[in-house]
Amino acid sequence: MTAVRALTHGFWRNLPPFRLVLGLCPALAITTAAEYGLGMGLAVTFVLVFSNALVSLLRRVIPDEVRIASFIVVIATLVVLVELAMKAYFYPLSRTLGIYVPLIVVNCIILGRAEAFASRNPVLVSAADGLGVGLGYTISLIVVGSLREILGAGTWFGRPVFGDGFEPFGFMVKAPGAFLCLGLLLGVMNAWSRRRGEIFVQT
Amino acid sequence: MDLLLLVIGAIFVNNVLLAQYLGNCPFCGVSKKLDTAAGMGLAVIFVAVLASVLTWVAHYFVLVPLDLEYLQTLVFVLLIAALVQLVEIFLKKKSQALYRSLGIYLPLITTNCAVLGIALLNIKHELDFATMLIYATSSAAGFALAIVLFAGVRERLLLSPVPPAMRGTAIALVTAGVMSLAFLGFAGMVE
């Protein structure tokens, strides 16, 4: 498997949170606006690339019995880095994302990729996989965020989309809208996969 | 009275799952049957309360005096991982019955954001020890309530003719949205 293929798999075949049903919590929680989706997605991408690379570097050193704990230490260290950097350079964003920034530690995508991919592949390929899955996740979050922001607040990346007469559909930026939006998007993606003849339904 | 409001607020209004979006992976993963959902709910209550006590003590007696608050995330997640391991070993030795009902859910809890989320919220809201204990218990109880109710709905869903593309997680998320809408109705009860 080449690095390029590992990279491109993240965009469709392993696209989180839709194809890999992992990392749902941030996908629901912080997607009230496209901008937050972008911020969270990039933070996750950063952690994913470096955790994949480090786990892959250490894969022959880490004993099998304590591998999960070791992965968590690697991931947690990277998350603390992101947290501090975000507080220093993007303070308003870090306020909005709140506890969901430290919660990147328990985002199952990262541990999932470390366990399923990085612990048995060379460094460069693992980093590419991290980048692909991370960017795929970022795109998904931006799509969900855009949908919810446009319908729920009438803006996109903070800029108004509709004229003055538009009455925002407030339901979309509240909790039920998040579940509904993600569920329906997942349904659309499944329908598309079925049309292309891919047999794929999450159970 | 304030404490009663805190309990109602944590269980219904700010439900961990449906309003704060914490712990959604197990919510979709282990909610297919009523008894596994109940097992997961109990395991989360158990671990979340223990973890809250442990992390609260660690935060106020170790991290704050040493000026190490920026290591909060790292310390909390390690504490929770170690705690889950300990609980698992302890239950295996001491209570076979409890181990058999909770055991398989315990490893999953290490990466359950509800547990870490509750621990972080305790600190964020600057709660004192007693309030923290009540808040953590009722938040975790809210998680258990939501996952058990949801499992009940999903068991019914198996018998309904769902369009093929919506089967599985897609319809589960839409159902969760409807449930979340119902819980939104509690929002008027507490500020």
Q: Which pLDDT tens digits describe chain A residue by residue (203 residues)? A: 577 777 777 676 667 777 666 777 778 888 888 888 898 899 999 999 999 999 999 888 888 777 878 888 899 999 999 999 998 998 888 888 888 888 888 887 888 888 888 888 888 889 988 898 899 889 888 988 888 888 888 788 877 777 777 777 777 878 888 888 888 888 888 888 778 776 655 54
Dist CA B153 CA B168 (whole Å) = 13
Dist CA A167 CA A180 (whole Å) = 20
The per-residue pLDDT for A49 is 93
Going by pLDDT thresholds of 50, 70 and 90, the confidence category of residue B1 is low
The per-residue pLDDT for A62 is 85
Closest by Cβ to A99, choosing from B78, B120, B174: B120
In DSSP notation, B150-188 reads HHHHHHHHTTS---GGGTTHHHHHHHHHHHHHHHHGGGG
Does residue A154 sit within a domain?
Answer: yes
Does residue A203 sit within a domain?
Answer: no
The per-residue pLDDT for A202 is 53
Give the A:B interface size as CB pairs under 8 Å: 138
Does residue A202 sit within a domain?
Answer: no
Range of the domain at A120: 3-195
What average pLDDT does range B81-105 have in this prediction?
Answer: 77
The per-residue pLDDT for A199 is 61
Structural domain count of chain A? 1
Q: What type of residue is A154?
A: G
Mutate to test the interface with B, among A71, A94, A106 (most CBs of B within 10 A): A106
CA B37 to chain centre: 12
8 Å CB contact between A121 and A3: no
- Is the pLDDT at B133 greater than 80, yes or no? yes
Q: Where are the beta strands (DSSP E) in chain A?
A: 155-156, 159-160
Q: What type of residue is A132?
A: G
Q: Which residues of B touch A84 (CB under 8 A)?
A: 70
The per-residue pLDDT for B180 is 86
Inter-chain contact B172–A183, Cβ cutoff 8 Å? yes
Higher per-residue pLDDT: B85 or A43:
A43
The ipTM of this complex is 0.81
Looking at chain B, the whole-number percentage of residues with pLDDT higher than 90 is: 12
The per-residue pLDDT for B74 is 87
The per-residue pLDDT for A96 is 85
Q: Does A73 touch chain B (CB under 8 A)?
A: yes
The per-residue pLDDT for A20 is 66
What average pLDDT does range B49-62 have in this prediction?
Answer: 92
Going by pLDDT thresholds of 50, 70 and 90, the confidence category of residue B88 is confident
- Is the pLDDT at B56 greater than 90, yes or no? yes
Q: Which residues of B touch A177 (CB under 8 A)?
A: 177
> Can you name the residues that pair with A160 across neighbouring β-strands?
A155
